[in-house]
Amino acid sequence: MTKKGENIYKRKDGRWEGRYIKNRDSQGRIIYGYTYGKRYLDVKSKLIILKAQHVESNFLNTFCGNLETWTIYWLYHYKKHTVKQSTFFNYEWLIKKYILPYIGEKKLSKLTSDDIRMYKEDLEKLELSHGTTSNVFILLKTLFEEAENQQIISSNPCRSIQLSRKKSKKRPPVALTMSEQKKLEHVAFKEKGCSAIILALYSGLRIGEISGLKWSDVDFENNTICVSRTIFRVNSQTNEGNKTEVLIGNPKTDQSYRVVPLAENLKQYLLTKKAISCSNHVISCKNKMTEPRVIRYRFKKVVEEAGIRNIHFHSLRHTFATRCLENRVDISSLSKLLGHNSAKMTLDTYADSLFESRRKAMYKIDQLMTETASYDYE
């Protein structure tokens, strides 16, 4: 077996094995305990917890390790079972890519505000988006807050550090024109199986929700589509290289659990496709679930054939919302259809799409002026 790290080995069967001191016998000889996992990081985190249980009477009060050790403990002990899978993997990826390589080896109790200030400067040199930089720094601050709460450190070195307030300009959502939509639909309707494009344009579902949609979620009797799961691909980086994996999880937010009305034309389209389907999933690949990456690949081919501008699949959701607004669907109803957290979020996202409605409103108000009104500028 190849050793990697402190008492962690790579087994011949591909798994990682971690060894820790579990106890001692009557003669003082060490009794070892073992733990296993598919990934090095999993075993390392398990060892930290097991050592806390079997070796140290109080792991937190006696902790004197580096930031990497504390971070792994915090991630797996406090967060793994309290946040969504996608959030956990995002935390793990940000930590491994933007925190540990820079200050992971520094002793937790010795990190100062000056160290964090220097780290912030290194982070800004990477020229990441404001959102990514902010997420990394908030994550680091949270790590120190928990260490402070557990009295491992006397104070949070991040507390006095502020990120620059400069934010990247938010881009308005991209939606297809009616002409582009018709061209895209013309090609999409030729697909033998159910088209993710048609489903997105006429339901507003996210790509992960479409990927996870099963025929059992479509109630043809009551004319509804139940959104109860999502498929997503996450970074699952191991010490052996960068990898990703597909996971089945809960919808993005609590509001994303929703029931979408099924209109007649879409219903007839889905019934036709269900009749020839051999899969449990509405969008299938070899009679199985079609993951988002495959849906995007198919989408790009349809876009090229349709001869329209290069757009992202998510633009179909924006197109659905834009068509709704053009047909005077109220913001509250649209927010529920899209699974947004609030009507304000919907209004903020599609404010530009409502400009024409505002123009028409001003025109109607303007008509209230009497034609006989006189204008005296003297």
| pLDDT tens for each residue of 78-110 | 888 888 877 888 898 899 899 999 999 999 989
In a domain, 161, yes or no: no
Predicted local distance difference test score (pLDDT) of residue 343: 85
CA distances in angstroms from 146 to 38, 230, 302, listed in the order given: 28, 31, 49
In a domain, 371, yes or no: no
Predicted local distance difference test score (pLDDT) of residue 58: 47
Structure tokens at 187: 């090609």
Instruction: Tell whether 19 and 105 lie within a shared domain.
Output: yes
Q: Could you give the number of structural domains in the chain? A: 2
Is the full-model pTM beyond 0.75?
Answer: no
Q: For residue 274, give the CATH number of its domain.
A: 1.10.443.10
| pLDDT tens for each residue of 315-351 | 999 999 999 988 889 899 999 999 988 888 888 888 7
Which backbone phi and psi does 188 adopt, to 5 degrees?
A: -65, -35
Instruction: Tell whether 10 and 48 lie within a shared domain.
Output: yes
Identify the bridge partners of residue 247 per DSSP, sorted by sequence position. Answer: 232
In a domain, 225, yes or no: yes
- State the amino acid at position 113 in one-letter form: S
**Cβ neighbours of 176 (radius 10 Å):** 22
Which backbone phi and psi does 161 adopt, to 5 degrees?
A: -95, 130
In a domain, 48, yes or no: yes
Instruction: Tell whether 145 and 190 lie within a shared domain.
Output: no
- Cα–Cα–Cα angle for 184, 189, 192, nearest 5°? 130
Q: Which helix (H) or strand (E) holds 141?
A: helix 130-149
Instruction: Tell whether 347 and 211 lie within a shared domain.
Output: yes
Instruction: Tell whether 222 and 344 lie within a shared domain.
Output: yes
**Cβ neighbours of 142 (radius 10 Å):** 16
In a domain, 292, yes or no: yes
Instruction: Tell whether 202 and 351 lie within a shared domain.
Output: yes
In a domain, 100, yes or no: yes
DSSP code per residue over 310-350: ---TTHHHHHHHHHHHHTT--HHHHHHHHT-S-HHHHHHHT
Bigger pLDDT: 259 vs 25 = 259
Euclidean distance between CA atoms 98 and 279, whole angstroms: 41
What residue numbers bound the domain in which 56 lies?
A: 2-149
Domain boundary, last residue among 93, 128, 149:
149
Instruction: Tell whether 102 and 10 lie within a shared domain.
Output: yes
Euclidean distance between CA atoms 260 and 252, whole angstroms: 16
Predicted local distance difference test score (pLDDT) of residue 55: 43
Instruction: Tell whether 212 and 139 lie within a shared domain.
Output: no
| pLDDT tens for each residue of 289-308 | 999 999 999 999 999 999 99
Euclidean distance between CA atoms 88 and 79, whole angstroms: 7
In a domain, 376, yes or no: no
In a domain, 241, yes or no: yes
Structure tokens at 152: 């491992």
Structure tokens at 329: 């669907």
- State the amino acid at position 237 in one-letter form: Q
What's the Rg (C-alpha) of the chain?
27
